[in-house]
Amino acid sequence: MIKNAILTILIPFLYLLAILIISTTATILGFGMIFLSILGVVLAFIGLFLWVLGFLNLGRQAFSVLPKAKILKTGGIYKYFRHPIYLGITLTCLGLSLSLGSKAGLFYTILIIIPLNIIRARKEEKILTERFGQEYLEYKRSCGIISFMKEVMKDG
């Protein structure tokens, strides 16, 4: 119970810290490459789109405690990505870091945000497997997290 309360506070703080690091180091440590800036803007918009669409597809469930989920969402954006919110957060942080030229933000995204989202996704998948059983396992087989990360998220 206390662990969940700490995580409820800590996780948003870690995401906020990413934005603070990116924004405060942007003008100091620029990459100086227009291509990376444009790529970053595109990634940030795609990430934000996935992030928001993930929340919209979950509806009220987006703000409930995961173990209380009563319906397994497999339609909408969840038909294509098992974790669009985590993917969206990652792409947004990565994109902002690139577009603003924040080396510190890029390192923070790689060292903190990506591992954090992988850990959260694994925990969520364990809970969903316990909650929905075979239905979730079938969904998991039919929908990759994202194609290049299948090995990272592999069970075991």
Q: What is the pLDDT of residues 29-72, one digit of tens each?
A: 456 677 777 888 889 999 989 988 988 888 766 655 455 677 88
Write out the residue range of the structural domain in which residue 42 sits.
2-149
CA separation for the pair 21, 33 (Å, rounded): 20
Task: Please write the tens of the pLDDT for every residue from 132-141.
Answer: 999 999 998 8
The answer to whether position 154 is within a domain reads no
Average pLDDT value over all residues in the chain: 80
Note whether residue 155 is domain-resident.
no
Residue 38 forms part of a structural domain: yes
| Number of domains observed in the structure of the chain | 1
Domain assignment of residue 82, yes or no: yes
CA distance 5 to 18: 21
Q: Provide the angle, in degrees to the nearest 10, between the axes of the packed helices 34-58 and 84-100.
A: 160
Integer Cα distance of 67 and 129 in angstroms:
11
- The tokens describing 40, both together, are 């970053």
Q: Does the residue 90 lie in any domain? A: yes
